[in-house]
A and B are shown apart, each in its own frame.
Chain A
Amino acid sequence: MSDFENDYRHAKPGQSGPGIVDYLDLETKDQTYLDATELVLNMGPQHPSTHGVLRVILKLDGEKVLGTECVIGYLHRGVEKIAENRTYAMFNPYVDRMDYVAAVSNGLGYCEAVEKLLNAEAPPRAQYIRVILTELCRIASHQVWLGTHALDIGALTPLFYCFRDREEILKIFEKYCGARLTTHAFRIGGCIYEAYDGFEQDCLKFCEHFLPKLNEYEELLTTNRIWVRRTKGVGILKPEDCIALGVTGPVLRASGVKWDLRKAQPYEAYKNFEFEIPTGVNGDTYDRYLVRIEEMRQSVRIIRQAVEGLPTGPIMAKIPKVLKPPVGEIYHSIEAPKGELGYFIVSDGSTQPYRVRVRPPSFVNLQALDKMVRGLLVADVVAVIGTLDIVLGEVDR
């Protein structure tokens, strides 16, 4: 019918280059698709496998996906606008509500960005506590991912295993700061809560118990024939495509790019710890699974080192009560469980930020969905959405 249609009809997985427009103009009047063999199918926003309120418009040829268009924004709360109307400290709890399964990481990124703007640094003890909690949070985030991803593909048991073990992490969070999910654990300049009595033991105990549990997950899935058939070779993303599309985090590493902000541009105390950056080879859903599983092991390694080396001293830097960062702008990013989480903050010297821009990893990673699912089957779309590990609270902000 048109060039546009031909593009999609002959698209094969991994073949469509960056020049091809990933955009379906479904509202064009002269293209009704009535005479075509294609079917336009709406998936979501109320669909259990879209992990929230993601709406994907699929263009199908039978079971084969010819193209997709994501419709997002159902959860848009205007977080960046809210930031301009709050003081720096008041905005801190809001960032927890973006990626709500990894709230600690969001808080870390924001606090560090404002600290950089203030030219302050958290004391060593605060940095270690931050690292411990952030790595626990990474494990918790990956557990939610694994449970729901496996559930989408049809494996029910990992969900219960993951949520059972995640509970231990949430208990540590609860004991530390009173909240389980949206923790608001850190403050600008350090931590507000001292580690409670038995914090170290709780963390070490968790590490000890968690590693065998991780092996249990792997026993369920890694060599499971159904799991392997559903994930191997599905949603392949080549390294050059990852970089062109700005995809970061485990998705990028599964494609073989050994890049992790904790190593590339170390923040907090990460330069003091030994850990590996796991990478994949094929860049498919199975590799992304292996990478995230290995990342959990590495997080356990970091937690153990941090608990053992936990220094004594103050937990809060000397910063004024009323934060008035000098005029300037900075961009600071951290390695969140989902990828590069960046904050671009502009200060005009007043108590409120002039502009806060959040660079959400989920939002940017979701852009790769179209490229990954072209030529696959509808059931694979579910697997690919799961493997991208998106949180719609962060995509829509």
Chain B
Amino acid sequence: MPDESKDPKPISPESSAPASAAEAGTPTASTPKSAEPVKTSAAPATADSASNPAAPTSEGKPAAPAAAAKPTAPPAKPTPKPEGPKPEPWDSDLVRKLKAQYGSGIKEASTYVGQKYLVVDSSIVYEILLRMHDDELFDYCVDITAVHYPKREQQFDVVYVLYSFHNNERVRVKTQIQEGETLRSAFSIWPTANWLEREVFDMFGISFDEHPGLKRILLPDGWKGHPLRKDYPILQQDQEWVQINLGIESGQ
């Protein structure tokens, strides 16, 4: 595992080489994102070494033979990448009711590839969840999880996946919180939130108020750090904990 994880972007050399050559060849053109295929093999080779010497070295040795073999097979992907689906506004009675009541607290109501989601302010997320459960019959809390965006000011997305048995409908409720900010536990709405929130706490360090027993669930109690944060590298471990509790130098 360690040798694999040292390479952060494992791309097969065959597929990456034409793309990197095309990128390196573009300095001759005016627009860097031009989709034109590269004209000759000599030009990109010189451009490679002259203007962007870092690219071939970072690619490692497989890039060189692939670039040399290129004139026979010109870059196969001159067509621009098709645009992915975009979130579309989601309009329904539920959204209109919520918007009328909470106004700007509902930041976004969209569907993405047919999946509905709401982005709400963290101050009203408990009210929204309670309302979804009591009035809108979302009686099954499928999942609670989080996503870490370290570059954002509000670092964490907390995602609640809800399902309604009555309407056969699934909705995600998302909220964004800062480091250190807490949310009210959804345990009093759905008891299933107990372990799901413990896992979020364990993996991200997000605390939930009024939780019946917020402690680590998958990692040992004394562990330091929250592994699913982006600033926690994949090889990191709590050395001290490993040495004290397992009696070995390192777990790797």
Q: Do A and B come from one complex?
A: yes
Q: Which residues of A contact B (CB under 8 A)?
A: 18-19, 21-23, 25, 72-73, 76, 78, 80-82, 84-87, 90, 116-117, 119, 243-247, 257, 259, 264-265, 321-322, 324-331, 333, 340, 342, 344, 346, 351-352, 354-355, 357, 359, 363-364, 367, 396-397
Q: How far is the CA of A85 from the CA of B235 in the complex (A)?
A: 11
- Contacting pair A22 B194 (CB below 8 A): yes
Is chain A's binding surface mostly helix, strand, loop or mixed? loop
Which positions 211-249 of chain B face chain A at CB distance < 8 Å?
A: 212-213, 216-220, 227-228, 232, 234
Beta-carbon contact of A367 and B195 below 8 Å? yes
Interface string of B138-174 (1 = CB under 8 A from A): 0111110101100000000001010001001010100
B163 to A: closest C-beta gap in Å: 9
Q: Which residue of A lies closest to B145 (CB)?
A: A357
> Does chain A have a CB within 8 A of B83?
yes
**Could you give 17 example pairs across A and B, Cβ below 8 Å?**
A19-B188, A73-B219, A73-B220, A78-B227, A82-B234, A85-B8, A117-B113, A119-B113, A246-B192, A257-B165, A322-B11, A324-B81, A326-B85, A342-B161, A359-B143, A364-B195, A367-B195
- Taking a contact as CB atoms under 8 Å apart, the answer to whether B83 and A326 are in contact is yes
B42 vs chain A, min Cβ distance (A) = 27
Residues of A within 8 A of B8 (CB): 85
| Min CB–CB distance A57 → chain B (angstroms) | 13
- B interface residues, tally (CB under 8 Å): 49
**Beyond A82-B234, A86-B10, A244-B190, 6 extra complex contacts between A and B, CB < 8 Å:** A22-B191, A22-B194, A73-B216, A246-B192, A355-B228, A359-B161
**CB <8 Å contact, A344 and B143:** yes
A243 touches B145 (CB 8 A): no
Tell which of B11, B112, B142, B196 touches A87, judged by Cβ atoms closer than 8 Å.
B11
Q: Are B217 and A328 in contact (CB under 8 A)?
A: no
A279 vs B168: C-alpha distance in the bound complex, in angstroms? 18
Q: Is B250 on the interface with A (CB-CB < 8 A)?
A: no
Q: Is B97 an interface residue (CB 8 A)?
A: no
Alpha-carbon distance between A86 and B9 when the two chains are bound, in angstroms: 8
B43-84 interface mask toward A, CB cutoff 8 Å, 1 = contact, 0 = none?
A: 000000000000000000000000000000000000001011
Interchain CB contact (< 8 A) of A243 among B112, B140, B220:
B140
- Report which of A87, A117, A363 forms a contact with B195, defined as CB distance below 8 A: A363
- Measured in the bound complex, the distance between the Cα atoms of B172 and A189 in whole Å is 26
Instruction: Please name all residues of chain B whose beta carbon is closer than 8 Å to the beta carbon of A247 when the two chains form the complex.
Output: 192
- Closest residue on chain B to residue A23 by CB atoms: B213
Given contacts A81-B234, A351-B9, contact A21 B213 (CB under 8 A): yes
Known: A80-B228, A330-B112, A359-B161. A367 touches B142 (CB 8 A): no
Closest residue of B by beta carbon distance from A246: B192
**Pairwise interchain contact B212-A23, C-beta atoms closer than 8 A:** yes
List residues of chain A with CB within 8 A of the CB of B143.
331, 342, 344, 357, 359
Binding site for A on B (CB under 8 A): 5, 8-12, 15-16, 81, 83-85, 87, 112-113, 115, 139-143, 145, 147-148, 159, 161, 165, 168, 170, 172, 188, 190-192, 194-196, 203, 212-213, 216-220, 227-228, 232, 234
Q: Given A322-B15, A330-B112, are A73 and B217 also a contact pair (CB < 8 Å)?
A: yes
Question: How distant is the Cα of A119 from the Cα of B148 in the complex, in angstroms?
Answer: 25
Q: How far is the CB of B176 from chain A (nearest CB, A)?
A: 14
The chain B residue with its CB closest to the CB of A347 is: B84
CB distance A364 to B113 under 8 Å? no
User: Taking the nearest CB of chain B, how far is it from the CB of A257, in angstroms?
Assistant: 7
Compute how far the CA of A158 lies from the CA of B227 in the bound complex, rounded to whole angstroms.
42
Tell me if B16 and A85 are in contact (CB < 8 A): no
CB atoms of A81 and B85 under 8 A apart: no
What CA separation (Å) do A207 and B143 show in the bound complex?
Answer: 36
State the 10 A-B residue pairs at the shortest beta-carbon distance, nearest first. A326-B84, A246-B192, A23-B213, A73-B218, A21-B212, A359-B143, A357-B145, A18-B191, A76-B218, A355-B147
Rounded to whole Å, the gap between the CB of B137 and the closest CB of chain A is: 11
Given contacts A73-B220, A81-B228, contact A333 B195 (CB under 8 A): no
Q: How far is the CB of B161 from chain A (nearest CB, A)?
A: 5
Q: How far is the CA of A259 from the CA of B159 in the complex (A)?
A: 24
Q: In the complex, A326→B113 CA distance in Å?
A: 11
Residue of B nearest to A241 (CB): B191
Q: How far is the CA of A354 from the CA of B149 in the complex (A)?
A: 10
Contacts of B115 in A (CB 8 A): 330-331
Which of A116, A119, A243, A342 interacts with B165 by CB under 8 Å? A243
Give the distance to chain B from A141, nearest Cβ to Cβ, in Å: 21
User: Do the beta carbons of A81 and B227 come within 8 Å of each other?
Assistant: yes
Residues of A within 8 A of B113 (CB): 116-117, 119, 328, 330
A326 vs B86: C-alpha distance when bound (angstroms): 9
Chain B: minimal CB distance from A373 (Å): 16
A327 to B8, CA, bound (A): 19
Question: Are B84 and A119 interface neighbours, CB within 8 A?
Answer: yes
Bound together, the chains give a CA A208 to CA B95 distance in angstroms of 52
CB within 8 Å for A264 and B168 given contacts A80-B228, A364-B195: yes
Contacts of A344 in B (CB 8 A): 143, 145, 159, 161
